[in-house]
């Protein structure tokens, strides 16, 4: 198996392992592949106790991620998010519910949510790609306007707007 060229690395204060278990419980074909631990080497720099989890490498549907326990130095914000493409309303509902569980109840527009760790996700229907992105297409304009009013995506409402019904 070839190494993935780019791997997202998520910095947690001390919840790297818990978050990896949470994410791998949601996505099918997912697993934790490696866990590393801090040692006393470099402790004056990293400040972590020897034996504490340092990184957790895991896969979500074949995409490798690494979670790092780096201390409370940095936090997540909406400038970075992960897109979850969904083919059906059932998929949208599933990921919306599971990823949003315990997260920020003030979901943002257009399928964005923030999970209980502060990581932003976009749960979006693949049908948006099929509708195109031509700003001169009246169907696209209607679907885009409908999407801007949504928090969790509603496939039936998007299709209805696209058709002009």
Q: Which tokens sit at 94?
A: 């599933």
CATH number at 81-163: 3.10.180.10
Cα distance between residue 92 and residue 96, in whole Å? 6
> What would the pLDDT profile of 103-129 be if each residue is shown by its tens digit?
998 878 899 999 999 999 999 999 888
Three-state secondary structure of 70-107: CCCCCCCCCCCEEEEEECCHHHHHHHHHHHHCCCCCCC
> What would the pLDDT profile of 14-59 be if each residue is shown by its tens digit?
999 999 999 999 999 999 999 999 998 988 888 888 999 999 999 9
Listed in order, the ranges of the chain carrying CATH 3.10.180.10 are: 9-69, 81-163
Cα distance between residue 42 and residue 75, in whole Å? 23
Specify the pTM. Answer: 0.90
pLDDT higher than threshold 70 for residue 85 = yes
Residue carrying the six token digits 């791997």: 7
* CATH 3.40.225.10, domain 9-69, yes or no: no
């Amino acid at each position: 198996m070839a190494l993935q060229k780019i791997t997202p690395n998520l910095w947690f204060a001390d919840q790297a392992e818990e978050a990896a278990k949470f994410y791998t419980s949601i996505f099918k074909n997912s697993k934790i592949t490696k866990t590393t631990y801090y040692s006393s080497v470099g402790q004056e720099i990293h400040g972590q106790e020897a034996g504490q989890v340092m990184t957790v490498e895991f896969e979500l549907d074949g995409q490798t991620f690494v979670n790092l326990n780096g201390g409370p130095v940095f936090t997540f914000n909406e400038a970075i998010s992960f897109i979850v493409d969904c083919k059906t309303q059932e998929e949208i509902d599933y990921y919306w519910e599971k990823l949003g569980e315990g997260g920020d109840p003030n979901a943002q527009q257009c399928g964005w949510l923030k999970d209980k760790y502060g990581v932003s996700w976009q749960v979006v229907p693949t049908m948006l790609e099929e509708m195109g992105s031509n700003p001169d297409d009246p169907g696209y304009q209607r679907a885009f306007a409908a999407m801007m009013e949504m928090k969790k995506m509603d496939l039936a409402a998007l299709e209805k707007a696209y058709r002009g019904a």
